[in-house]
Amino acid sequence: MPASPIRKLVPLGDEAKARGTHVYHLNIGQPDIETPPEFFDAVCSYREKVVAYGNSQGIRLFIESLQQYYASLSIPLNYDDIVITTGGSEAILFSMMAVAEPGDELLVFEPFYTNYNGFAIMAGIRLVPIATQAEDGFHLPPAEDIEASITPRTRGIIICNPNNPTGTVLRPDELYAVRDLALKHNLYVLSDEVYREFVYEGETQSVLSIDGLQEHAVVMDSLSKRYSLCGGRMGCVISRNRRFMDVMLRFGQARLCTATLEQVGAAALVAEGAKYFTPMISEYRRRRDATFEELQNIPGMLCRKPSGAFYIMAQFPVDDIEDFAAWMLRDFSENNETTMLAPGPGFYATRGRGTNEARLAYVLNAPECRRAVALVARGIEQYNSVNRKG
């Protein structure tokens, strides 16, 4: 079981702070946006005397509010198409375990959300990585390249749309290619859609609204980003496949239920609908534009402007990104400030890939994002001149 690569730099960051250096955290997807007050209001108006076990599927109030939310996206769902989970994390772990036995395989596009690895290890499942390239904006390779990785043990294809860590939003033709492969080889499509609202150009599509995928589509969702509720651990799994959902409910029964108060609070947010994320998305667009513009100014930096989520995966003009990221915290500062990055290799299963890439999470306001990237620019300059001398 590997240590979380995103969190591996944490001690160096802590030491920098102890020296009085301000650290801009572009390394972790923790938004600075305030959690809507309706969440706290609902939690604190809970009037039961006992915080009792809830239904394993989730509390009715919350499930119905999610039905409403999905209906507003033109995705009609039955009550039993939804099981509440402890964050997107449990949604991913349970979905993987439900579709694959130990030793089975799931296809995943590299780079990918680093914790897929951890969950696969827990479940004894083999993740089979399929490369995507910075030069192509991390879009999917041709269908035949994907198909070449399918074996008799393949049970599903994992997509993350909009993508963490690349920010890429899948085009309809890519989704249809995945659909066709899933139907041809009878595979599940496990779709991580926690960044659904974070789309800055064009539109994204849920696998739940793709014709023909009724029995194959599984959505792993979370309220963490949409409502800035990361510490609330509220997510869900959605599928119209009854056999899959039966297993999901049994997993749910094994762990009894998810936190009651947090569900009550979350229900209040979902009921309020889009009023939170419409202004939030404008704010994130500004941040993306600021971050991307500053990155463009760095000689040798390669990245395409991503259309979604709140991440940019960039190719850096350095040889060893892990060394550079550590150096930024240990040896670099300008006016007592530095920037923390998430090194690329953590997002790859294939050894040797991502060694000059890093993920930047633009979860600070636009001026702070600019400053954080300007620090990266200064850092690269110094780091490379020191390195060349050495």
Q: How far is the CB of 41 from its own copies (least distance, A)?
A: 10
Q: Which of residues 252-291 bind its own copies (CB under 8 A)?
A: 253-262
Instruction: Using CB under 8 A, pick the residue from 251, 277, 332, 348 that binds its own copies.
Output: 251
* Size of the chain, expressed as the number of residues it contains: 390
Nearer to its own copies, 81 or 104 (CB): 104
242 belongs to the binding site for its own copies (CB under 8 A): no
Q: Compare residues 232 and 354 and give the one whose CB is closer to its own copies.
A: 232
Quick one: 7 or 185, whose CB is closer to its own copies? Answer: 7
Q: Which stretch binds its own copies (CB under 8 A): 37-45, 158-166, 351-359, 376-384?
A: 37-45
Note if the bond before 31 is cis, omega within 30 degrees: no
For its own copies, the binding residue among 101, 136, 173, 381 (CB under 8 A) is 101
Tokens (6 digits) for 59:
């509390």
Q: 180-185 — which CB contacts under 8 Å span 24+ positions?
A: 180/143, 181/143, 181/146, 181/147, 181/150, 181/157, 182/156, 182/157, 182/213, 182/216, 183/212, 183/213, 183/216, 185/147, 185/150, 185/154
Stretch that binds its own copies, among 64-72, 158-166, 211-219, 230-238 (CB under 8 A): 230-238
Nearest to residue 309, comparing CAs of 386, 204, 388? 204
CB atoms inside a 10 Å sphere around CB 85: 27
Amino acid making up residue 238: I
56 is an interface residue for its own copies by CB under 8 A: yes
Give least dist CB 264 to its own copies, A: 10
Is residue 58 part of the contact set for its own copies (CB under 8 A)?
Answer: no
Residues 261, 239: Cα–Cα separation, whole Å: 25
Three-state DSSP at 151 gives coil
356 near its own copies, rule: CB under 8 A: no
Find the binder of its own copies among 65, 86, 164, 205 (CB under 8 A): 86
- Euclidean distance between CA atoms 118 and 120, whole angstroms: 5
Is the separation of the CB atoms in 332 and 338 below 8 Å?
A: yes
Which range binds its own copies by CB under 8 A, 100-108, 292-300, 326-334, 373-381?
100-108
Q: Please identify which residue in 65, 164, 191, 228 interacts with its own copies, judged by CB under 8 A.
A: 228
Binding characters for its own copies, 109-128, by CB under 8 A (x = yes): ------x-xxx--xxx----
Residue 227, token pair as written in the block: 């409502």
Beta bridge partners of 360: 312
Q: Which residues bind its own copies (CB under 8 A)?
A: 1-4, 7, 28, 30-35, 39-40, 43-44, 46, 49-54, 56, 86-87, 89-90, 93, 97, 101-103, 115, 117-119, 122-124, 228-233, 247, 250-251, 253-262
